[in-house]
Structure 1
């Protein structure tokens, strides 16, 4: 199952993708929101989006809003290097996770919830 990872930091995107691969998923990586839209158009089997919160031009929450306006209803997980902001309590978010030493465990839990709800 494909999971789209959106992160403007290539290393962070690769780390997130590696966590997802370890869970048995097939990650695809996009470096920004526009590349994410392109990946979604060309890969109809994407089941979940995991996006960085803070990216230039279009951040993770703006990407979520943009996709919802386009009737893309895939589950969406946000990642942030900081503590999750209060504005991250969006009703369409599965989770907003901090990129910390426990991200692999937290991400596994959130992915399981997103794909099995």
Structure 2
């Protein structure tokens, strides 16, 4: 599966991409929402978006909402360093909201598997 990783922190983005690639996925990395939109336009084979929550200008939830307004219906997984609130976890634009923690490799794999089922 080709996955778009969006994170303004290049090290965090590369680490997320490495986790995904270790699970057998291919990745593209965008450092902000505008770069993400450009990559989505250039690569029709992207099947999933994994984005950081806290980014300047356009945060992860705003990006998810912008994409929905543009009729982009790809599954969108939001990553946050904060404990996800119930409101954020149940946001209609999100397939999942996951905490960036030691269990991320497993929780991210589970969330991706869940997007394939639904």
Q: Same fold (TM over 0.5)?
A: yes
1: CA distance, partners of 2:81 / 2:58: 17
Residues 19-28 or 87-96, more deviating: 87-96
Q: Does 1:63 align with 2:67?
A: no
Report the Cα offset of residue 116 of structure 1.
3.1
5+ residue gaps in structure 2?
A: none
1: CA distance, partners of 2:43 / 2:115: 19
Match of 1:51 in 2: 51
Match of 1:113 in 2: 114
Report the Cα offset of residue 115 of structure 1.
2.5
Q: Retained in 2: the 8 A contact 1:47–1:115? A: no
Q: Does 1:38 align with 2:38?
A: yes
5+ residue gaps in structure 1?
A: none
Residues 87-96 or 104-113, more deviating: 87-96
2: CA distance, partners of 1:85 / 1:78: 12
TM value normalised by structure 1: 0.96
Q: Does 1:8 align with 2:17?
A: no
Number of residue pairs the alignment of both structures matches: 117
Q: Retained in 2: the 8 A contact 1:48–1:74? A: yes
- After superposition, the CA RMSD in angstroms is 1.0
Report the Cα offset of residue 92 of structure 1.
2.5
2: CA distance, partners of 1:85 / 1:60: 15
TM value normalised by structure 2: 0.95
Give SS of 1:93's match. Answer: coil
